[in-house]
Amino acid sequence: MFRRFMQLILSFLLFFQTATVAPITLAWDDSSPAGVTQWFNVYRATDINGPWVRVNGQNIPVDTPTYTDTVPVGQTYFWVVTAANEDNESDHSNTVTWRAVRPKPNAPINNRKIN
């Protein structure tokens, strides 16, 4: 199994006041030895203990360690990332938590780094 720590960077994107869904972009670094990771998977849950559902339809290439998900406003969600190859999938990364809310008019974009 891989040993790696992924740093997730959570970027909140501004959306319209009347929005019922909100986009969230996850970005991470892979600290696995070169050539070990062949792709990434992103999992989402509505409870920190799962169940976890894979949200990326296709494998995420190692040279593109980001994923944008869209979730309904008003619900708290949790995300984790795994590194994978043909033989194994890593343990979950640290967990990112976000509750999508409608922004106030003219609100600034809120970017926050999650360690």
Q: Would the pLDDT of 103 be above 70?
A: no
Q: With respect to residue 113, please indicate whether it lies within any of the assigned structural domains.
A: no
Quick: pLDDT tens for 40-97.
999 999 999 999 999 999 999 999 999 999 998 888 999 999 999 999 999 999 999 9
Q: Would the pLDDT of 11 be above 60?
A: no
Q: With respect to residue 24, please indicate whether it lies within any of the assigned structural domains.
A: yes
pLDDT of residue 57: 94
Q: Would the pLDDT of 16 be above 80?
A: no
Q: With respect to residue 78, please indicate whether it lies within any of the assigned structural domains.
A: yes
Domain that holds residue 37: 9-105
What sign for the dihedral angle of Cα 60, 71, 52, 79? positive
Number of domains in the chain: 1
Q: With respect to residue 16, please indicate whether it lies within any of the assigned structural domains.
A: yes
Torsion of CA 46, 52, 42, 78, to 10 degrees: 30
Strand pairing category for 96-99 and 111-113: unpaired
Q: With respect to residue 4, please indicate whether it lies within any of the assigned structural domains.
A: no
Instruction: Look up the pTM and report it.
Output: 0.74
Q: With respect to residue 42, please indicate whether it lies within any of the assigned structural domains.
A: yes
Q: With respect to residue 17, please indicate whether it lies within any of the assigned structural domains.
A: yes
Q: What is the CATH number of the domain that holds 91?
A: 2.60.40.10
pLDDT of residue 23: 87
Q: With respect to residue 43, please indicate whether it lies within any of the assigned structural domains.
A: yes
Q: Of the spans 7-11, 15-19, 29-33, 43-47, which averages the highest pLDDT?
A: 43-47
